[in-house]
């Protein structure tokens, strides 16, 4: 077993949960100390490795998050906003690094996470991949360089099981573009075009969401002016990029001061 930090994974049966577990077990830099699922799930009480269709890993799936978090130095959490808020309080009790890949938060949800960050390291990002975070930085720089003659549109595509739209990554891009323009995203965001909408409002940042098949994640940031377009694009073909980024965050957070961080901090891109 690795001598690295122990990590618990929430939403263990999901696609990301299983990918995270495999990534941790294969890393040689950490080990799995907990696997959490919702009450009543068929995996409760089973060895998580066997539940995933492989060899036993010695970790039993539980619906008692505090039990799973207590021996852990980090929690990686790709679940849902309400669950993540509850997990944040437990992570703070355990003084464990809380890596949050959950998306779909409201402003009130984000505010509800803050008290826990006073007691533990909390790393939250709409996307954990290196490429996406580089794209976020580029989006801000391009938006700062171009004026409102360039319309900004963000187009994202995901699999047909994704429950939130726009994606957390698309919103990251939107926030970066708004920061570059020196405006608040909630004042210029255009997400609901249907019917006779009239001409596009100058300075708005538009969002479009595509859902279908097994698309892992594709994001385009389009800067469109008369006679020319600039397109920044990121395509993810394997969820392992998100799992590797989340593991990197969990390792980076060890020994840090409590507080709220994101992947730009983890990657040293600030």
Active site residues: 158, 162
Exposure string of 61-93, with b = 16+ CB inside 10 Å and e = fewer, is bbeebeebbeebbbbbbbbbbebbbebbbbbbe
CA–CA gap between residue 205 and residue 41 (Å, rounded):
41
Residue 116: both structure tokens together: 């826990």
Residue 157: both structure tokens together: 């595509």
Q: Please state, as a whole number, how many other Cβ atoms lie within 10 Å of the Cβ of residue 184.
A: 11
Q: Where are the alpha helices (DSSP H) in 52-158?
A: 65-69, 81-94, 107-117, 130-145
Q: How many residues does the chain have?
A: 270
DSSP collapsed to 3 states, 14-59 = CHHHHHHHHHHHHHCCCEEEEEECCCCCCCCCCEHHHHCCCCCCCC
Supply the DSSP symbol for 201. P
Phi-psi region of 99 (alpha: psi -120 to 50; beta: other; left: phi over 0): beta
């Amino acid at each position: 077993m690795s001598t690295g930090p122990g990590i618990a994974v929430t939403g263990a049966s999901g696609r990301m949960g299983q990918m995270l577990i495999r990534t941790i077990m294969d890393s040689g830099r950490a080990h799995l100390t907990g696997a959490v699922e919702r009450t009543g799930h068929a995996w409760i009480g089973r060895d998580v490795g066997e539940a995933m269709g492989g060899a036993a890993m010695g970790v039993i799936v539980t619906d008692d998050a505090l039990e799973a978090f207590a021996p852990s130095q980090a929690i990686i959490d790709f679940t849902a906003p309400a669950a993540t808020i509850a997990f944040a309080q437990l992570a703070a009790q355990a003084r464990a690094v809380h890596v949050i890949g959950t998306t779909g938060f409201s402003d009130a949800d984000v505010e509800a996470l803050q008290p826990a960050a006073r007691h533990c390291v909390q790393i939250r990002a709409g996307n954990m991949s290196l490429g996406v975070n580089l794209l976020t930085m580029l989006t801000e720089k391009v938006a700062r360089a171009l004026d409102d003659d360039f319309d900004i549109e963000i187009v994202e595509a995901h699999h047909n099981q994704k429950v939130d739209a726009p994606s957390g990554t698309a919103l990251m891009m939107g926030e970066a573009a708004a920061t570059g323009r020196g405006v608040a995203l909630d004042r210029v965001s255009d997400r609901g075009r249907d019917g006779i909408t009239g001409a596009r409002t100058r300075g708005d940042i538009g969002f479009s969401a595509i859902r279908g098949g097994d698309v892992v994640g594709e994001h385009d940031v389009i800067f469109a002016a008369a006679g020319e377009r600039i397109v920044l694009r990121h395509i993810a073909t394997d969820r392992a990029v998100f799992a590797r980024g989340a593991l990197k965050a969990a390792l980076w957070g060890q020994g840090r001061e409590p507080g709220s961080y994101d992947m730009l901090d983890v990657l040293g891109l600030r």
